[in-house]
Amino acid sequence: RFLKRPVRWSGIPISLRIFHSLLPEDEMFLKRLSGGYVVGKDPDASLFYREKGNKKFQAKDYMGAAVLYSKGVSHSGPNSTDISLCYANRSAALFHLGQYETCLKDIVRAQMHGYPERLQPKLLLRKAECLVTLGRPQEASQTIIDLESSFAAKPTLSASQFQILQRTLCRVKVKVQEKKNLPEIFPEALTKTFEGVDLREENEQIPGASSSVTLHIDPLKGRFLVATKDILPGELLVKEDAFVSVLNPGEVPLRLHSLESKWDIRATNGDLHCHRCLRHTLAPVPCEGCSYAKYCSQECMQQAWDRYHSVECSLGALLLTLGVFCHVALRSTLLARFEDVGKVIKKLCGEMSNQGICLPESKNPAQILKYGQGGEGEKTDKAVETPIPGCDINGKYERNYNAIFHLLPHTENHSPEYKFLCAVSVSALCRQLEAAGLQAFTTDLKPTELKAAETPVLGAELNVWGVAMLRHMLQLQCNAQAITTIQQTGSKESLIADTRRVRLATALFPVVSLLNHSCSPNTSVSFIGTIATIRASQLIRSGQEILHCYGPHESRMGVAERRQKLRSQYFFDCNCPPCEREKQRPSAGPGREAFRCHRCRVLLQGDDVLSCGGPACTESVGRDLLVSRLQDLQQQVGAAQKHLRNGRLELAIQLLLGCQSDAESFLSAEHSVVGEIEDALAQAYAALGDWEKSATHLQKSLQVVEVHHGPSSVEMGHEPSTNVCLIEYLGSLLFTSFWFRCAIPEALNTIQKAEKVLLVHYGPWNDEIRELQKMKSCLLDLLPIPVGPKE
């Protein structure tokens, strides 16, 4: 709709005119769009989700029930019967899932919000069972005493209910007595201890980076990191918490008319992860003002409220409409309030002045630091030069708003349409803030005073912060970092545990953003919540640049496609060594994704017409015919994978074996489709319990992965089905006959290889590494003890 208007863009100045000229019909259009998102509290929704959750609970789908009860909690107002019932019901689901500590927390929350007195006995009984299971018999005994006192004082249950409860109570009493005879057991801390994650020696000039790197700047390459000494594979180079991050909401459906579609029952990222720290949780604590924001704890909720959500709470629907980039831009400016905001404002006004924007009369341009300069902000009429943008006057690159501000917006490279849409989005956000009368951008308040402020002080300041948000939106296309996670697809009960990497959040990391791109990087990036860790994935010599991949990797696409993608999103032509090699040798051969002759199995070569490279073969075939045949094969593989996911294993195997035979007749042995077929066959045979065949196909699949990605690549250690098959293979080894004992050395070798690769890319704290280590320990116990020679 907005692009129907003529677009005239001469830089950022037009954005300020848009702030004051957004047409009423545009505002109404955005209001209608945002009205489709359900972000407010709604008692009808709470009842709907609780009833849906009850059905899941009765069907013993406790995970699904917990998610639906959480949705009910989010839509309930505080201190209401609705929220107390949802918390209590969720505690029951968590109890069945073995989440006893979290169950206890939900029981406390239900009581705090006024859980009905007549239902208290079963809640107290559940509490006692949790305490017994957790090895806390003294607390369990006190809970039982409270429960019996409640029975005696107010008998609110019917005779049949009372008898059932009494039987359960007797059983719990027995357990308590048994536990009292055992030493007290203290539950493990719920928070992970990430051993080996801390930097060995932090860089004094680049907090969050290793002392093994230093910061350089180049007129063409900009800022970048260089190794100051030889760095071994697996060494931790950067450990940085995001300056700002926003959870990717996933598929948030618009409100529709029918009751069934009005409230969505699917679990999204927003339902399963904390909106502040991104921790996975089955028991989120909701914001008291909206139904969208959810947190892993009361502490996270309060921190989010104090730092940004007190402003964002009323803007949830609009932010979902405008998208994650707009949300990140707003949150970045909100977080800037917690630094020395006076300096930030000076920088922003300096930016406006440099670009010809008329400053508010209240600002004195003579006291403004120029863009790209100034460090600790001495008040002087002269610009203070710093050697590298984002550093202070001492050359220290801090992870603060100053570093975020100096990320390049690439204003001259974005299309007029994109800049116009960014400006309209920021304009709509500023209008909403102004209409709400929020104290969001007050610059003379301390953080602790923000909640108490009531009188809006927007006006001219809003223009300055509007330009800041626009700058951040333009920065994000080139500087935003996707925080990703491995997510399982399909049901938990299925033997086929398919996984995929998904975008969990969008964030800005000041230090990570210093790394330049290579299509064959020497580092690997992983995430622990909002913390990014970068490790060397290969030996990096002193003086070499530290590089990571922005997405297009040489193992996944050709040089032309890589360059096109990098040019369209990041505005540069890649000249990394792999690109230069491929550019100089465009016809080096058929490559890994090649076709081969159906007669002599030699690889075919050529362009439109492919000819056999065999010495005595004259076979030739059109490329279009082979491409069409490949597409048909991929459709057949897709159909087989669908049968596999739906549990039709025999049919899936029949189709896959046909695909395997067809692929062998015209595809190279290293073709990715060949690896895909072998991987699917490995999963299918594992589901049937035929571990020998599963392992055979898995080996073939891994050979293809190794050819494409290298023996030490993260893909080798993290191919989704690899870990699944190893775990299932171990389970079979533990309970089968001596024949399998012959395969133990091979299994140990595979586990050690995966462990070695994952250690390089993820470090020793990784869950999968710990699982592999447990498997290795079990297998070593199964090995026969060598018998010494007889004397």
DSSP 8-state assignment for residue 547: E
Q: Assign 159 a pLDDT band (cuts: 50, 70, 90).
A: low
Is pLDDT at 719 greater than 60 in this prediction?
no
Distance between CA 253 and CA 262 in Å, rounded? 9
Token readout for 497 is 């545990």
Distance between CA 698 and CA 686 in Å, rounded? 10
Provide Rg for the chain, Cα atoms. 30
**Does residue 394 or residue 54 have the better pLDDT?**
54
Q: Assign 176 a pLDDT band (cuts: 50, 70, 90).
A: low
Interior angle at CA 149, CA 146 and CA 155, nearest 5: 125
Specify burial of residue 235 (Cβ count, 10 A radius: 0-12, 13-18, 19+): buried
Q: Assign 759 a pLDDT band (cuts: 50, 70, 90).
A: confident
Token readout for 198 is 């801390």
What domains does the chain contain, in order, with CATH numbers? 43-179 (1.25.40.10), 606-782 (1.25.40.10)
Distance between CA 720 and CA 537 in Å, rounded? 20
Mapping DSSP to helix (H, G, I), strand (E, B) and coil, where does residue 488 land?
Answer: strand
Range of weakest confidence among 63-72, 332-341, 638-647, 681-690: 332-341
Is pLDDT at 609 greater than 50 in this prediction?
yes
Distance between CA 135 and CA 222 in Å, rounded? 58
Report whether 620 contacts 609 (CB < 8 A).
Answer: yes
SS3 string, 631-671, reads HHHHHHHHHHHHHHHCCCHHHHHHHHHHHHHHHHHHECCCC
Helix (H) / strand (E) containing 594: none
Find, among 608, 659, 605, the residue nearest to 631 by Cα: 659
Burial letters 320-342, b for 16+ CB under 10 A, else e: bbbbbbbbbbbbbbbbbbeeebe
**Does residue 125 or residue 565 have the better pLDDT?**
565
Is pLDDT at 496 greater than 70 in this prediction?
no
Token readout for 762 is 């993820």
Q: Assign 111 a pLDDT band (cuts: 50, 70, 90).
A: very high
Distance between CA 599 and CA 672 in Å, rounded? 21
User: How do beta strands 604-606 and 547-548 pair?
Assistant: unpaired
Q: What one-character-per-residue DSSP string does 123-167 give?
A: HHHHHHHHHHHTT-HHHHHHHHHHHHHHHHH---S-HHHHHHHHH
Over residues 580-600, the pLDDT tens digits come to: 887 776 544 445 678 888 888
Token readout for 142 is 């006190």
Over residues 650-669, mean pLDDT = 92
**Does residue 48 or residue 695 have the better pLDDT?**
48
Find, among 322, 376, 381, the residue nearest to 344 by Cα: 376
Highest mean pLDDT pick, 15-24, 334-343, 458-467, 577-586 = 577-586
Is pLDDT at 105 greater than 80 in this prediction?
yes
In percent, the amount of the chain with pLDDT more than 90 equals 34
Total residues belonging to the chain: 791
Q: Assign 453 a pLDDT band (cuts: 50, 70, 90).
A: very low
Residue 791 neighbours by CB distance under 10 Å:
3
Over residues 417-439, the pLDDT tens digits come to: 999 889 889 988 888 888 776 54
CA dihedral 407, 408, 411, 417 (to 10 degrees): -60
Range of weakest confidence among 282-296, 395-409, 448-462, 682-696: 448-462
Report whether 305 contacts 287 (CB < 8 A).
Answer: yes
Average pLDDT across the chain, whole number: 76
Query: What's the predicted TM-score (pTM) here?
Result: 0.78
Specify burial of residue 707 (Cβ count, 10 A radius: 0-12, 13-18, 19+): middle
Distance between CA 179 and CA 771 in Å, rounded? 30
User: How do beta strands 547-548 and 516-517 pair?
Assistant: parallel
Q: Assign 99 a pLDDT band (cuts: 50, 70, 90).
A: very high
DSSP 8-state assignment for residue 216: E
Q: How high is the pLDDT of residue 347?
A: 56
**Does residue 761 or residue 421 have the better pLDDT?**
421
